[in-house]
Amino acid sequence: MQPELNGILLVDKPAGITSAKVVARIKKIFGARKVGHTGTLDPFATGIMVCCINRGTKLARFFLHGNKKYEAVLLLGIETDTQDSTGIVTDTCDNVLFSEIKLQSVFNQFKGTIEQIPPVYSALKCKGTPLYKLARRGNPVQKPARRITIFNIEILRINLPLIHFTVSCSAGTYIRTLCADIGKILGCGGHLKELRRIQSGGFSITEAVKLSEIENFALSAKISHRIISMSNALQDMPEHIADKDLAKKIMHGNIITKKDLRPVHTETSEGFIKIVDTNNHLIAVLKDTKKRNRFSYCCVFNN
């Protein structure tokens, strides 16, 4: 009997398939009990999806709010109801001849922390129903603006009306809304023509496996080499190697204090610390409460 696979699989999602269907295919290929992902990509978009398998789904919370990086193509002069190439054209403009200096100036306005209004065609929910379903029924719901951060935005090349660019941003940023907003400031409108996610949660597209290749890997039993172990997946989280006594305390849910762990700097990890055994198997993730000199339990794995 094959041992259960637990961990993270980085998938290079193709165009023309929903993120939910990618998850369903992964689940079927591996016969997994659970599979989840840490950030939806629109059907037309491609790029990295961080898929959590079986017990690895407990780690999804640590990647959901991770930063992202995208390669995108903005098409000026055409607005759509969805702010991307899949929507219905709502307005056009022929005046799209802008200088590189003008374009760079407008792009630079979006650097830093800004307010962004989520699109009415999005997976956000209103009373349990995704907004895109409400919009398709003719009942669009506009969510209030949310604070997002654009860490960097760089124009790669200009071939008007097309502008190729990269953007590094916080989770929850809508690149199609960014494109629409750039078009509005320029006065000609615009929409997102192409999108590829190249970084997510500290992982790069160069580490991902194409969905078309995953089944072949699974059949040849080579896919286990592409599964990132749960301890290695939390690559930037401070680590403590537990001895038998500490492991036993954790398995029994005993209170863990700072006396149980060597000094660990958790400031850069929001107070989280991963506990592994001598074989680098993840035992638990704890959080420094900063109070009462103790750690709280986030998740525990009985190995």
The CB-side HSE value for 62 (13 A sphere, CA atoms) comes to 27
**Sequence-ordered strand ranges (E) for 122-161:** 125-126, 129-130, 146-159
> Cβ-count burial of 141 within 10 angstroms (0-12 exposed, 13-18 middle, 19+ buried)?
middle
Burial of 250 (0-12, 13-18, 19+ CB in 10 A): buried
CB distance 56 to 176 below 8 Å: no
What residues contact residue 223 under an 8 Å CB cut-off, 6+ apart? 5, 9, 30, 214, 217
Which among 67, 161, 181, 165 is positioned nearest to 119, based on CA atoms?
A: 181
Asked whether the beta carbons of 161 and 77 are under 8 A apart, the reply is yes
Of 42, 84, 181, 260, the catalytic one is 42
- Burial group, residue 261, by CB count within 10 angstroms (0-12, 13-18, 19+): middle
- CB-based contacts of 128: which residues, under 8 Å, 6+ apart? none
Q: Which pair of tokens denotes residue 125? A: 């929910």
Active site residue 42: yes
Active site residues: 42
